[in-house]
Each structure stands twice: as structure tokens, then as C-alpha cells.
Amino acid sequence: MSGPEARLIKAHLKTCTECKALLDEELAFDARLAAVPVVEPVNDVWVLVRARTKPRKFSPFVWLARIRSAGATAKRAAAAAAVIGVAAVTLYSFTLNRSDLAPSYISKGAENVITVKWSDDPLGGHREALVECIGKM
């Protein structure tokens, strides 16, 4: 309480016995509570705390613990990198499976018609012909 308010109350307390009695009662109760002593632990609790916070000498999951204790920025950066990585792998797989995107053309020979297509198969679908050819060698 400050300034005029405090002065007003002080002036009132000088004239009003009822309020003065209430104030005295409150102050007496304050003093009663203030007399309560400070209690202290009977045992040395640090021994318990030390045992429960002992740093581990070696843990195979130290890196995991470090990530967990890392700051929010590092966590966000790690999450963003993971999302970008997953997106890149997904896009790459999708492109490989779209064989119709690859160019195709037909080559006409004198006796046979050979169709050449882009494929993931390194033998281009001519496995049997290749085996036959090797067999004749």
C-alpha cells in the first residue's frame, strides 16, 4: 500500500477501535506463525540424491539420450531432415516405376521386328535369347 491510501488507513486506525482491534488480532496471528521454527532434515538426503543421479559410465544409447536432451531447434532440424529424406526416396521410387515415361521405339529388320524398350531389366527382356546364344558358343 502506498501514499494516500496508507495515510488514510493509518488515520482511520487512530480513531476506530474496532479496526484497530482487528489489526492487532491479525498481527498477533502473524507473530504466532512466525514463531514456528524451521525444520531440517534428520538424515543427509544428498546420499539418496547422489545415488539416483549417478551419471552412467557407458551406455549404448548415449546418442539417443543426447538427442532427447538436445534443444528444440535441433529437434526441429532433425525432424525436417527426416521428412525431406523420406520425400526424396518416395519421389525417386515413383520415377523408377514409371516405365512409360522412358522413350521407346521400334526397329524394323529384314526378317524380324525388334522392339526396344527402356526397362529396369539389364537384359532388356532378352534373357532367353541370351542364354540360347551362350549355349551355341
Q: Which residues bind other proteins (CB under 8 A)?
A: 12, 15-16, 18-19, 21-22, 25, 29-30, 32-43, 45-46, 48-50, 52-55, 69, 71
Least Å distance, CB 90 to other proteins, is: 34
16 vs 80 by CB, closer to other proteins: 16
Q: How far is the CB of 16 from other proteins (least distance, A)?
A: 5
Return the number of the residue (39 or 101) whose C-beta is nearest other proteins: 39
CB 27 within 8 A of CB 19: no
Exposed, middle or buried: residue 124 (CB in 10 Å: 0-12, 13-18, 19+)? Answer: middle
**Closest approach of other proteins to the CB of residue 98, in Å:** 47
* C-alpha span between 101 and 31 (Å, rounded): 89
Asked whether the beta carbons of 105 and 116 are under 8 A apart, the reply is yes
Q: Which is nearer to other proteins, 12 or 127 (CB)?
A: 12
Angle (CA) 29 33 37, round 5° = 155
Residue 24 burial by CB count (10 A; 0-12/13-18/19+): exposed, middle or buried?
exposed
Q: Which is nearer to other proteins, 22 or 123 (CB)?
A: 22
Cβ 119 to other proteins shortest distance, Å: 54
